[in-house]
Amino acid sequence: MIRINLLPYVSEKKKESARNQVFVFLVYLALIIGAVAWYNSHLNGAITDLNAKIDYTKKELDRFQKIVAKVEAIRKQLDLLNQKLTVIEELNAGRGASFRLLDNMNEMIIKDRMWLARFEAVERITVITSGKGKSAKREEKVETHLTIEGIALDNKTVADFMTQLENATKELGEEDFNVYSNVKLVTLQHMTLRPDKAREEINLKRFQVTCQKERMASAPPKADEASRS
């Protein structure tokens, strides 16, 4: 009987199979390393793009912040200018009102029997709000407190002057209302005047009278309301 020794062939097969497995493992390992390298490169590219976008955004943010700062500076200048214009308008309005008030006061004087020595007007403004929300209406109640000092020939002249202030009215449509209210005599002092030695002494009365005058005006909107509008 012929005997064949197959052990060398089997051993060779095992070696070839081992080599194939090592080759396949190396191929898979290379593919994995390549995939990891590609993904890492992709991530690096994405990170680079994001960093570039972040830098661009920061630059744009700095640019817009500078623009916002300029806008705020312009807004402050406009607010200051509006305040100055408001003050100028109030001064112009007050100047006209002062002339009218003084002219009206001259009409109240008892001619040839009294003379004004000092006239002071102080305004107090009270804001009155009626309604709510957008339909709210704001008005300013302007109270002018007057202090009148003068010289009169006698007590009756002072009394007549105060009566004229109390009875002074101004026509408003079909109704009349008192121009002056709370007329009060603060002081009444006797004084003697002697122009020269050749003339007799003149007895006069130095007086101080206070009263007030009211008017209503539309109030300007609040700062926050103006900004919202």
pLDDT, tens digit, for every residue of 217-226?
A: 545 555 444 4
Q: Is 180 left (phi over 0), alpha (psi -120 to 50) or beta?
A: beta
Q: How far apart are CA 188 and CA 224, in angstroms?
A: 50
Average pLDDT estimate for 73-101: 75
* Per-residue model confidence (pLDDT) at position 206: 94
Contacts of 124 (CB under 8 A, 6+ apart): 142, 143, 144, 145
**Mean pLDDT over the full length of the chain:** 78
Question: The whole model's pTM is what?
Answer: 0.49
Query: Quick one: tokens of 94?
Result: 């007050």
The closest alpha carbon to 145, from 168, 169, 123, 178, belongs to 123
* Per-residue model confidence (pLDDT) at position 8: 59
* Per-residue model confidence (pLDDT) at position 35: 87
Contacts of 34 (CB under 8 A, 6+ apart): none
The radius of gyration computed from the CA coordinates of the chain, to the nearest angstrom, equals 49
Q: Are 16 and 8 in contact (CB under 8 A)?
A: no
pLDDT, tens digit, for every residue of 16-56?
A: 777 778 778 888 888 888 888 888 888 888 898 899 899 99
Q: Are 110 and 161 in contact (CB under 8 A)?
A: yes
pLDDT, tens digit, for every residue of 112-165?
A: 899 999 888 887 777 667 666 666 666 767 778 889 999 999 999 999 999 988
Query: Quick one: tokens of 66?
Result: 């500078």
